[in-house]
Amino acid sequence: MKLTTAGESHGKALVAIIEGLPAGLKLDFDEIRTALALRQSGYGRGGRQKIERDTAEILTGVRNGVTLGSPVTLAVYNRDYENWKAYMAPEGCDTSVRVLSKVRPGHADLTGLKKFGGTDARNILERASARETAVRVAAGTVFRQYLRAFGVEIAGYVRACGEVRDDKKYTFEEIACNRSPLLGMMNAEKEREAASYIDDCATKGDTCGGILEIRVKGLKSGFGSCMTYAEKLDARLSAALMSVQAIKGVEVGIGFGAAVRRGSEVHDEIFGGEGGFRRRTNRAGGIEGGMSNGEELVFRAAMKPIPTLMKGLNTVDYATGQPARAAAERSDTCAVTACGVVLESALAAELAAVVSERLGGDNMAEVVERYGRLS
């Protein structure tokens, strides 16, 4: 199973192609719309979200709401394209307008220009933009529905926003049902503190990031492999999370906490009995030796502050070589709420690929039956 995306931030549309999805999966279009709306929500978002009203159109691979087994193509059209058509049209446009040469620290601008050539960073930023994640969320919701057919569910929440942290432990059910729509947090008092922190950043023309926790429930043991490093489940899922724009760190289970504890405080003891093998703790985050062990998967991802600051940062004009202040493209102060659903979608896509590789199958009835036979 494979996902490919294409499209530019201010281009006509963002497109995703899903290959390898079995026939017979009934799609919930309302869930796709809800996920796209969640990606556009959250405290601290900017003006672009007032323009776009994202919906996904399915172009191929589905008939009467059910997958056919052929590639599924989704498109999210950019309403803002009408405002940018004169500068972005593939058929011909005036590229001398809206040139960005005051490269922004923390963005792909400078490195992209050096790699791909030219003097206009717009040719780089249009693809590097987090706008790309809109179609990843649409496709990711399809993958979530594929996984749900086996009883595998994904949920996440914002554990920290800037300097405001919530270190309380929550059950999967609490996260799935009680996450706040404002900032994706679980604790109302912490969320009020976080909103004030975001307001302070906005007043100063600054930005902030956060830490998000993503959980997977219902995955049976044995997915991934210890036999080759490329098949290790934690490596593949961590890479999927790291592929999301602005993510600078990922940990599994207690993660970096394992480095400062003794082995007796890190490894999950195994017990037997009538119900089979079980663990009373889950410090490993559901993965041992690169394979799922039947416990919940637990990931945390660190999102850096958005690098487009309204006050700008010191940089250089790529065209002239002279000192400058970085360009202030329309941006957000904070996007941790949106980042949560993006991370869940990215993880769903890679996890679906892992599951598909083990189970195979051309139709959903066949795949579900094979999953049911696993211990």
What's the pLDDT tens digit per position in 58-91?
Answer: 999 999 999 999 999 999 999 999 999 999 999 9
**Alpha-carbon span 102 to 315, nearest angstrom:** 7
pLDDT digits (tens, 9 = 90+) for 228-253: 999 999 999 999 999 999 999 999 99
Tell me the C-alpha distance between 326 and 103, whole Å: 6
Query: For 27-60, how does the pLDDT look when each residue is reduced to its tens digit (9 = 90+)?
Result: 999 999 999 999 998 998 765 555 667 999 999 9
Nearest one of 12, 54, 21 to 342, comparing CA atoms: 54
pLDDT for residue 47: 58
- SS3 for 38? helix
* pLDDT of amino acid 48: 53
Instruction: Using CA atoms of 9, 214, 107, 338 in order, give the dihedral in degrees to the nearest 10.
Output: 40
Distance CA 156, CA 313 (A): 32
Query: Residues 131-148: pLDDT tens digits?
Result: 999 999 999 999 999 999
* Spatial distance between the Cα atoms of 140 and 98, rounded to a whole number of angstroms: 32
Instruction: Return per-residue pLDDT of the chain as tens, 375 residues.
Output: 999 999 999 999 999 999 999 999 999 999 999 999 999 989 987 655 556 679 999 999 999 999 999 999 999 999 999 999 999 999 999 999 999 999 999 999 999 999 999 999 999 999 999 999 999 999 999 999 999 999 999 999 999 999 999 999 999 999 999 999 999 999 999 999 999 999 999 999 999 999 999 999 999 999 999 999 999 999 999 999 999 999 999 999 999 999 999 999 999 999 987 778 889 999 999 999 999 999 999 999 999 999 888 888 999 999 999 999 997 766 789 999 999 999 999 999 999 999 999 999 999 999 999 999 998
Give whole-number Cα distances, 127 to 1, 242, 245, 286, 302, in Å: 23, 17, 11, 34, 22
Residues facing residue 57 across a β-bridge:
75
4: left (phi over 0), alpha (psi -120 to 50) or beta: beta
| Consecutive H or E run containing 85 | helix 81-88
Mean pLDDT of the chain: 95
SS3 271: strand
Task: Give the pLDDT confidence score for residue 111 in this predicted structure.
Answer: 97
The pLDDT, as a whole number, for residue 375 is: 84
Distance separating alpha carbons of residues 247 and 245, to the nearest angstrom: 6
pTM, full prediction: 0.95
